[in-house]
């Protein structure tokens, strides 16, 4: 009972904080969360995995309804759907599973810290740093994949570490089989949360290979490579293959039903649309109507442009990886703590995942990576970084104390740990408040407050109900959010050109274009009323959350 009590207290404390940060939010706030709500509603109403919106044209969609979740994965919608079926469709109901799941994440940090350092003071600090986790604060309670991926991804990393620990240097018998099977289950759940969760499946064989190679190098150093060495290599190879198979089995147990659904819906278990984002030359091309995201076009952009894009992503992603997972001032101590505890398998595995994630995102998915993809995926690292902070802080204090003899290092460590937890809570609330209500520095003129985003959509929906037919589709920057406000089919505004907007309207039968302040660059002159376009007639004007105009155009047939 004594060992359970801290977890109950910690869960209750975190849950109270999550509820407090969930209640002021009145809407999804961004497209990913709106899409999860839309698909959850489809499921709750018995329509299956179908979507009434097109937010990209990557798979050359024929029309609507369209098979859903061919880019974003289905677990967030699956978590929401039962609550919609029981309690009705609303944003507040959609938040429930994510409030609960994100309240479990500090428990992972508490358990990890206890296991690694056997100190409750470290464990409490690590757990509270996970509770008050800076930029993630507002996203933990949003109906998106942050909370489920953070929980399943961190547990996958933990069980990989436990499996390698069980295997030991000699890779005996069946050691680690259960841990790797469990890691596979959590890798499957992570993939069901995010497409790049597939990276976690690569982690067990890679970690086993590195561990085995290092172990063998130590064992044979200075000895001839005879039959005993060959036998050891064979045993390690067989053990790695066997344990990888256990992991793959757990993964397939979770993912096979989804692969079967995809095969029945589109003829392949893994959609290819997401892979096309490797060939973007800028982020806005994700929403192109033209089907021209190919390696040839990408290479034609020139070596200089390609290298410049990857260099920019490398710097942006390094900053995101280093500073976004925790409150900014904790990052150096997390790095120190991980380095000092680098012999711990938990930090080796999580560090390997961080490196793999950084390289794949930077080199392959260059433009989506620093526009949110990496930030989503590194949520699985939050507990590990938080666990590394207390020992890193103590190491820094000890270093200072040796130079300032008046310091009592042990007392200073307690004071700084408490003070940093308070500061983490303060900055987390500040960042959250700045997004919801505006902060001391004022609200940026380019970004509306959370509850004011897409403020014009309900008014546009009412206008359309009065003046348009129920079957009239709309072209808009954020189709899922517009559908949730209007329950009217919508497709995304193409970023190719004004001509592409007209082509999309006629190809899919859309009758109206919503042109708002956040619009594709090729439509800038149309938004600023510098040009008139044949086939587009402005029929209404609205105001968004920043007080800027939003125009509604009717498209001529």
What's the mean per-residue pLDDT of the chain?
A: 92
Q: What are 132-157's pLDDT values in tens digits? A: 999 999 999 999 999 999 999 999 99
Question: What local confidence, expressed as pLDDT, does residue 489 receive?
Answer: 98
Q: CA 166 to CA 160: how far, in whole Å?
A: 10
Q: CA 180 to CA 182: how far, in whole Å?
A: 5
Section 4-28 average pLDDT: 96
Residue partners of 43: CB distance under 8 A and separation at least 6: 49, 77, 78, 81, 84
Question: What local confidence, expressed as pLDDT, does residue 150 receive?
Answer: 98
Q: Is the pLDDT of residue 170 over 50?
A: no
Section 525-530 average pLDDT: 95
Residue partners of 237: CB distance under 8 A and separation at least 6: none
Q: Is the pLDDT of residue 227 over 70?
A: no
> Element (H or E) spanning 67, and its range?
strand 66-67
Q: What are 318-357's pLDDT values in tens digits? A: 999 888 877 788 999 999 999 999 999 999 999 999 999 9
Q: Is the pLDDT of residue 439 over 80?
A: no
Question: What local confidence, expressed as pLDDT, does residue 169 receive?
Answer: 46
- Give whole-number Cα distances, 543 to 448, 477, 527, in Å: 12, 15, 13
Percent of the chain with pLDDT over 90: 83
Compare 406 and 377 and report the one with higher pLDDT: 377
Q: Which fold has domain 454-555?
A: D-Maltodextrin-Binding Protein; domain 2 (3.40.190)
Q: Is the pLDDT of residue 172 over 70?
A: no
Which of 59, 81, 78 lies closest to 70, judged by CA?
A: 59
- Give whole-number Cα distances, 269 to 135, 248, 369, in Å: 35, 16, 24
Q: Is the bond preceding 223 in cis, omega lying within 30 degrees of 0?
A: no
For residue 8 the two structure tokens come to: 């109950």
Q: CA 302 to CA 469: how far, in whole Å?
A: 47
Question: What local confidence, expressed as pLDDT, does residue 410 receive?
Answer: 85
Question: What local confidence, expressed as pLDDT, does residue 441 receive?
Answer: 47
Section 285-309 average pLDDT: 96
Q: CA 431 to CA 439: how far, in whole Å?
A: 8
Most confident of 234-238, 395-399, 420-424, 442-446: 420-424
Question: What local confidence, expressed as pLDDT, does residue 330 receive?
Answer: 92
Residue partners of 498: CB distance under 8 A and separation at least 6: 522, 523, 526, 533, 536
- Give whole-number Cα distances, 270 to 73, 153, 260, in Å: 11, 20, 10
Q: Could you report how far apart the first and last alpha carbons of the chain are, in Å?
A: 71
Section 274-296 average pLDDT: 95
- Which SS3 state, helix, strand or coil, does residue 540 take? strand
Q: What are 85-130's pLDDT values in tens digits? A: 999 999 999 999 999 999 999 999 999 999 999 999 999 999 999 9
Cβ-contact 528, 521 below 8 angstroms: no
Residue partners of 215: CB distance under 8 A and separation at least 6: 169, 236
What angle separates helix 91-117 from helix 146-167, to the nearest 10 degrees? 30
Question: What local confidence, expressed as pLDDT, does residue 230 receive?
Answer: 59
3-state helix, strand, coil in the chain (%, to 5): 65, 5, 25
**Pairing, β 473-476 against β 510-515:** parallel
Q: Which residues pair with 490 in a beta bridge?
A: 53, 474
Which of 381, 388, 354 lies closest to 151, judged by CA?
A: 381
Question: What local confidence, expressed as pLDDT, does residue 218 receive?
Answer: 55
Compare 52 and 237 and report the one with higher pLDDT: 52
Question: What local confidence, expressed as pLDDT, does residue 168 receive?
Answer: 66
Q: What are the residue boundaries of the structural domains of the chain, listed by start?
A: 5-113+135-310+337-365, 454-555
Compare 226 and 433 and report the one with higher pLDDT: 433
Maximum Cα interatomic distance, the chain, rounded to a whole number of Å = 86
Q: Is the pLDDT of residue 423 over 70?
A: yes
Q: What pTM did the predictor assign?
A: 0.94
Q: CA 267 to CA 408: how far, in whole Å?
A: 67
Residues in the chain: 557
Q: Which residues pair with 474 in a beta bridge?
A: 490, 512
Question: What local confidence, expressed as pLDDT, does residue 543 receive?
Answer: 96
Which of 287, 269, 268, 286 lies closest to 277, judged by CA?
A: 286
Quote the Cα angle for 307-308-313, to 5°: 95
Q: CA 491 to CA 502: how far, in whole Å?
A: 12
Q: Is the pLDDT of residue 442 over 80?
A: no
Structure-token match 């700084």, residue found: 416
Q: How many CA atoms lie less than 13 Å away from 250 in the CB half-sphere?
A: 25
Compare 233 and 30 and report the one with higher pLDDT: 30
Beta strands in 333-393 (DSSP E): none
Question: What local confidence, expressed as pLDDT, does residue 342 receive?
Answer: 92
């Amino acid at each position: 009972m004594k060992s359970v009590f801290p977890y109950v207290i910690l869960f209750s404390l975190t849950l109270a904080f999550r509820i407090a940060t969930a209640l002021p939010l009145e809407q999804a706030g961004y497209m990913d969360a709106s899409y999860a709500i839309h698909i959850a509603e489809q499921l709750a109403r018995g329509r299956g995995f179908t979507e009434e919106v097109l937010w990209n044209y990557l798979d050359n969609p024929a029309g609507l309804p369209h098979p859903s979740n061919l880019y974003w994965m289905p677990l967030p919608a699956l978590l929401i759907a039962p609550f919609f079926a029981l309690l009705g469709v609303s944003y507040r109901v959609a938040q429930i599973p994510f409030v609960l799941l994100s309240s479990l994440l500090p428990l992972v940090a508490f358990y990890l810290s206890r296991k690694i350092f056997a100190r409750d003071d470290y464990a409490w600090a690590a757990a509270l740093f996970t509770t008050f986790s800076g930029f993630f604060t507002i996203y933990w309670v949003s109906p998106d994949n942050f909370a489920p991926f953070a929980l399943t991804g961190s547990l996958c990393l933990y069980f990989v570490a436990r499996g390698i620990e069980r295997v030991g240097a000699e890779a005996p018998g069946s050691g680690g089989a259960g841990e790797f099977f469990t890691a596979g289950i959590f890798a499957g759940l992570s993939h069901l949360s995010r497409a790049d969760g597939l990276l976690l499946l690569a982690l067990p064989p890679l970690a086993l290979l590195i561990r085995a190679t290092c172990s063998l190098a130590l064992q044979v150093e200075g000895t001839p490579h005879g039959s005993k060495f060959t036998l050891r290599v064979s045993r390690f190879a067989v053990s790695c293959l066997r344990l990888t198979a256990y992991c793959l089995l757990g993964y397939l147990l979770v993912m096979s039903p989804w692969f079967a659904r995809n095969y029945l819906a589109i003829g392949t278990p893994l959609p290819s649309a997401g892979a096309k984002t490797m060939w973007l030359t800028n982020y806005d091309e994700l929403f192109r109507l033209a089907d021209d995201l190919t390696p040839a076009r990408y290479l034609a952009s020139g070596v200089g442009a390609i290298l410049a894009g990857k260099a920019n992503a490398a710097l942006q992603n390094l900053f995101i990886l280093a500073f976004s997972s925790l409150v900014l001032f904790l990052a150096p101590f997390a790095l120190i703590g991980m380095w000092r505890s680098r012999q711990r398998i938990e930090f080796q595995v999580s560090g390997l995942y961080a490196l793999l994630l950084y390289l794949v995102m930077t080199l392959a998915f260059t433009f989506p990576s620093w526009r949110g993809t990496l930030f989503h995926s590194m949520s699985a690292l939050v507990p590990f970084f938080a666990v590394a902070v207390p020992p890193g802080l103590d190491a820094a204090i000890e270093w200072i104390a040796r130079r300032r003899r008046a310091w009592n290092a042990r007392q200073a460590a307690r004071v700084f740990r408490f003070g940093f937890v308070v500061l983490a809570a303060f900055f987390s609330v500040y960042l959250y408040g700045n997004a919801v209500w505006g902060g001391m520095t004022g609200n940026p003129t380019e970004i509306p407050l959370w509850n004011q985003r897409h403020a014009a959509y309900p008014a546009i929906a009412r206008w359309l109900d009065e003046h348009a037919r129920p079957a009239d589709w709309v072209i808009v920057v954020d189709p899922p959010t517009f559908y949730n406000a209007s329950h009217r089919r919508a497709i995304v505004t193409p970023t190719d050109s004004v001509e592409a907007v007209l082509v999309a309207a006629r190809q899919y039968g859309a009758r109206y274009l919503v042109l708002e302040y956040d619009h594709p660059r090729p439509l800038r002159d149309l938004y600023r009323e510098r040009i008139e376009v044949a086939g587009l007639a402005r029929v209404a004007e609205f105001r968004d959350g920043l007080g800027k105009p939003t125009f509604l155009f009717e498209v001529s047939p």
